[in-house]
A = this chain, B = another copy of it.
Amino acid sequence: MIKKTTPQINKGVATPKSINTSFVRKRKKVLSVDTIVQGILAGNRLMLSKAITLIESTKPAHQTKAQAIINLCLPHSGNAFRLGITGSPGVGKSTFIETFGQFAIQENKQIAVLAVDPTSQISKGSILGDKTRMMHLSTHSKAFIRPSPAGNSLGGVARKTRETIILCEAAGFDLIIIETVGVGQSEIAVHSMVDFFLLLLLPGGGDELQGIKKGIVEMADLIAINKADGENATKAKQSKSAYRNALHLLPPQESQWIPKVTTCSGLANIGMEEIWKQLVLFKKLTKENNFFIKNRKSQAAYWLHETIQNQLKQLFYDNPTIKAALKITEEKILAEELSPFQGAEDLMKLFKS
């Protein structure tokens, strides 16, 4: 009898008992910050996943809890090597990560694969969304794969991923791969959260043909011409030497690292060792010349000020009075009745008052 009535109660029949029961049952499931943090530090994936879900939640209570967890994990983070991977859709990122990830596991690494893709919710072409594209990796005990958090604003998505890195590191993962598509602004965000930036390109055709945005080539620590197998091998070699020449024209990096160009194939498992070697060399160089730690610190400062400036803009542009006045100001400026500087000053006066 009781069993039969319980479902009814759950369907919303509001008796004092039903409220009480569901309340008690719900409470049992809610884990404390301490429990979650202890779980993460013990390498418990379920706890890690739960914490990431809190980070990704938009509920204020979840956010408060997430921030508490992050702050407790912070002292245990920072020990992983953070690898950013970018490239156009179709360059074979998933297959590359599947193969390279397994290579890294053989090298005794525990790897976490995250993604930054602010458009995935809109275009539905979410990267890492389809775990079946990384069949071996997604089921491997030493790998943890998490698709891009949802969100339309790059700032929000990047922030969630940046926070997830902290938790993954606290959970003991020592190679964090952050994947992004090289066609928007997201590479700049990813570049600002990784130690090493790998650009995957296709054989033949310049980066512009592959939809790679201005400046991405300059951010790369390593360019790998992927799909360098079978008939493509020759074309890949040509691309390699073309990019090698182009890189010569770029100014030297602050890291003193000289960016390399290599060929590889995720599908045919070619060139993984060479890429791994480059990561090792880069880490050695930048640890020795202190760029590694210096870069981490300037990245932290970058995110502090980037977040402040984003929130300042939000405060200004979301203000209803400003919104209305901005429209009129913009029209006047385009009609050349008002200089943009005077327009800005008028709006600032309005904002301050």
Contacts and interface: CB of A to CB of B under 8 A. Distances in A.
Interface of A: 67, 70-71, 74-75, 77-78, 159, 162-163, 166, 206-208, 212-215, 217-218, 242-243, 245-246, 248-252, 297, 300-305, 307-309, 311-313, 315-316, 329-330, 333-334, 336-345, 347-348, 352
A70 B342 CA distance: 9
A331 B337 CA distance: 47
Contacts of A249: 206-208, 217, 242-243, 246
Given A245-B245, A352-B315, A251 B339 contact: no
B70 A348 contact: no
B215 A71 contact: no
Please state the number of chain copies in the assembly.
2
Nearest to A252: B208
Interface of A is mostly: helix
A245 B340 CA distance: 38
A303 B212 contact: no
Contact of A251 (B212, B248, B251): B212
20 contacts: A70-B342, A71-B339, A74-B338, A159-B341, A163-B339, A166-B339, A208-B251, A214-B218, A246-B249, A300-B333, A301-B330, A301-B333, A301-B334, A304-B330, A304-B333, A304-B343, A307-B345, A311-B345, A312-B312, A315-B348
Contact of A304 (B159, B337, B340): B340
A340 B218 contact: no
Nearest to A76: B336
Given A162-B341, A249-B242, A309 B313 contact: yes
Contacts of A307: 340-341, 344-345
A303 B347 CA distance: 13
A305 to B, nearest CB: 8
Contact of A311 (B215, B297, B348): B348
A317 B344 CA distance: 18
Nearest to A78: B336
B311 A309 contact: no
Contacts of A243: 249
Contact of A312 (B252, B302, B313, B336): B313
Given A208-B251, A213-B251, A338 B308 contact: no
